[in-house]
Structure formats: C-alpha cells, structure tokens
Structure 1
Amino acid sequence: MDVTAHLGLATTEVLLAKWPDLQGDWTPVVHPTVLEVIGLHAALSVATDALLLANRLAAN
C-alpha cells in the first residue's frame, strides 16, 4: 500500500511525506509524522491568534 501525508492549507495542499509500498502495520512508520503535523497545527494556531490580537491592538 502506498501511503502519503498531506497538509491542507487555505490556498494549497502540501505533501509532507510519502511511504511507497508499506506492508503490514505501518502505524509505527507514519505515527511520528502525524505527531509533527499536530505540533505544526498547534504552532500555526498560536501564531494566527497572536497576529489577530496584534492587529486588534494596533487598530485601537
């Protein structure tokens, strides 16, 4: 089975990883990338919130 990991952004989709021809239980192979994506999502969420707050404060 070929497995790929994609990150869907507002304007595009980014290929994060590709594992061709995985056999059997591929969870240990894919799991670290999933954790990295969760961390990336959290960091982007914090950055977005910080930018929104900075824009609100600048507008006042």
Structure 2
Amino acid sequence: MNVVARLGLASADVTLATWPDLHGDWTRVVHPTLLETIGLHAALSVAISALHLADRLADV
C-alpha cells in the first residue's frame, strides 16, 4: 500500500511525507509524522495569534 500524508492549505496541498509499498500495520511509521503535523499546527496557531495581537497593539 502506498501512503501519502498531505496538508491542505488555502492556496495548495503540501505533501508532508510519502511511504511507498508499506505492508501490514504501518501506524509505527506514520504516527511520528502525524505528531509532527499536530505540533506544526499548534506552532502556526500561536504565530497567527501573536501576529493578530501585534496588529491590534499597533493600532492603539
């Protein structure tokens, strides 16, 4: 089985990882990438919040 991890962004889809020809239980292989993606999402959320706060403070 071929497995591809993609991140759907507003402007495009980004391929995070590709695992060709996985056999059997492939969760050990894919799970670390999912954890990294969750961490990336959290970091981007914090960065977006910081930018919004900076914009509001600049308007004051």
For normalisation by structure 2, the TM-score amounts to: 0.96
For normalisation by structure 1, the TM-score amounts to: 0.96
Map residues 38-53 of structure 1 onto 2, 5 A cutoff: 38-53=38-53
RMSD of aligned alpha carbons: 0.6
Structure 2: unaligned runs, 5 residues or longer: none
1:5 aligns with 2:30: no
Q: Would you identify which runs of 4 or more consecutive aligned residues in structure 1 move more than 2 Å? A: none
Map residues 1-60 of structure 1 onto 2, 5 A cutoff: 1-60=1-60
Counterparts of 2:53 and 2:22 in 1: how far apart (Å)?
Answer: 44
Offset of 1:12 from its aligned partner? 1.1
Offset of 1:2 from its aligned partner? 0.5
Structure 1: unaligned runs, 5 residues or longer: none
Partner amino acid, structure 2, of 1:44:
L
Counterparts of 2:49 and 2:12 in 1: how far apart (Å)?
Answer: 21
